[in-house]
Amino acid sequence: MRSASLTHGADERFVPPQSQETEVLEHLDSAIVAGYFVLIFVVGALLARRYARRSASEFITGGRTFTWKQTALTLVAFAVDPTYMGMAGIAFIWGLYVLQWTAVHIWFTSWFAAMFLVPIYWRTRIVTTPEYLEKRFNAHCRALFSVLMAVILIIILTSALYLGGLLLKQLLGWSLAASIAFIAIVCGFYVIMGGLRTVLMLDVYQGAFLLVTLGVVAWRVLTELGGLTALATLDQPGDAGVPLASLLPPAEFEPLKDTFFPAPAIMLWATTAGLSWLACNFGTAQRLLASRSERDAQKSLLAVAVLANIACFATFAVGVAMRKLAPELKPDQAFMEVMLTMFPIGVRGLLVAGMMAALLSSADGLLTASGTLLTQDIYVRFVRPRASEGEAKAVTRLVEAGALLITVALVPVAARSQSAVTFVQTFFGDVLGVVVALYIVGMFSKRATARAAFVAMISAIGLAIGLDVFTELNFAYVGFVSFGYAIMATLVLSRLEPAPDPQRLENLTVHTLSDAPAPWVGLGAWPGLWKWALSLSVGWLALTGLWEWYIRAH
């Protein structure tokens, strides 16, 4: 055993053994996270080497080989990113009822998309979701949506990289620039070299990793609080006046008030925005279309609805518990505070690695989505219609590299003004309702025409922007108003011109699928879909009722 009485020169600094051990431990978290990045880099390189020589079609689509379980995990990995730490802050402010915001996927959007959208996407064999708009309407609708979606994907990616870099900086002490560069290099390498197949294979495992991470963080803070019983008995009201533990949102309908998703907003806008995320978001559809069968794609949608809500419950529970344990915190610090103060060194590094899995799995999805969108919907469609498979593959790689460089260049803007987050929210409210309206009216109406759809799309976006600029209307109601207007305008204007040729609509509407009876076209591939849809819907309502009964009984 070393003696503390050893003498040293005047210029030497004595470090006690305990301090040396502490210093080593302080670097353990960084070593774990760095090791995780190295692991992903190596595995990504091996997968890229295995898949990079496949055809351009498989490079872009993923090969259509994934089971429903794999697809569900890739969808969860794509949806969950470091912004979930901010979502814990939402629950910190409003309460557990915000879970109903995502519960719409259980009782409505997932089975609706599986029943109606997947069968049409599967038969048209589209590569990008805007491609459907051209098949159903015209190239103008496709081009406009493609550009808007590519821009928003890049901006969301900018926000994700910034938040991920900030996480590494605050938890591990890495510089922001080095953190972002490290993330960009690892993610960019396996995306650009290996394509979607490599991305999806990695996302299967990263999806499972991040679910475990969220579960561990929630378990730790709930243990500190006193368990689920203690959570359920929190009668402290949130900022909406609803008890923090309640799953029932406030029933208020005040369009000019900024309450986060009261019951009317959930019914009107959360359902619309949720459907647009599943139906129109190219990154989501890209994963569905990589499934090995139509039935696998349908099953994955119902599975991801359950998994996503488990992830959201864990995240929101952290926010609610921290409102009780540390009410002096800023809301956005709630999740990070648990990771910083309630876990020992080493375990904390594993948790940060789990959040990095969330970041990488979202960033790679956004990067592949933006690259494929710009290649397929702009370059191949308008610039080089006769481009070979090899050329399309090369251009996709160049576009992805360019998108990554633009994203890194935009990070300082997000760091200074957070304009990226503001733009994302505004875009969702102003555009996604309009876009999903075109999909709905296109799939359910044989009478809707191309010119009417394009005019309705432009005018509805203008209406939404006008409501944002000149009124104080809650963004949720802005989105729903533009959604309703786009549907009505398309149907009314379509009556002013001849109906589309019925032959042109083959496999593009629920009424024109040759091998599936209308309108419940999803039952053709999966006859039991309606039973699962009904069970999940009733099950969620029953769970909500039982939770409310329990908290009132205690």
Spatial contact of 488 and 536, defined as CB atoms under 8 Å apart = no
Greater confidence, 363 or 25? 363
Find the mean pLDDT for residues 164-186.
78
Residue 519, preceding bond cis, omega within 30 degrees?
yes
Q: What is the mean pLDDT of residues 329-354?
A: 82
Residue 4 has pLDDT above 50, yes or no: no
Cα–Cα distance for residue pair 112/104, rounded to 1 Å:
11
When mean pLDDT is compared over 79-93, 145-159, 282-296, 459-473, the highest value belongs to 459-473
pLDDT at 541: 94
Higher pLDDT, 388 or 113: 113
Half-sphere exposure of 344 (CA within 13 A, CB side): 3
66, β-bridge pairs: 291
- Closest C-alpha to 143, from 153, 130, 156, 157: 130
- Classify domain 27-411+418-553 by CATH number: 1.20.1730.10
Overall average pLDDT of the 171-178 stretch: 78
* 232-241, 416-425, 428-437 — most confident range: 232-241
* Averaged pLDDT score across all residues of the chain: 81
> Model confidence over 497-522: pLDDT tens digits?
999 998 899 999 999 998 888 899 99
Q: What percent of the chain has pLDDT over 90?
A: 31
Residue 1 predicted with pLDDT over 50: no
Residues in the chain: 554
- What is the three-class DSSP state of 226? coil
Give pLDDT tens digits for 269-309: 889 988 887 877 777 887 888 888 999 999 999 999 999 89
CA angle 518, 145, 388 (to 5 degrees): 90
Dist CA 39 CA 25 (whole Å): 21
Q: What pLDDT score was predicted for residue 322?
A: 94
- Residue 190's pLDDT is 61
Confidence (pTM): 0.80
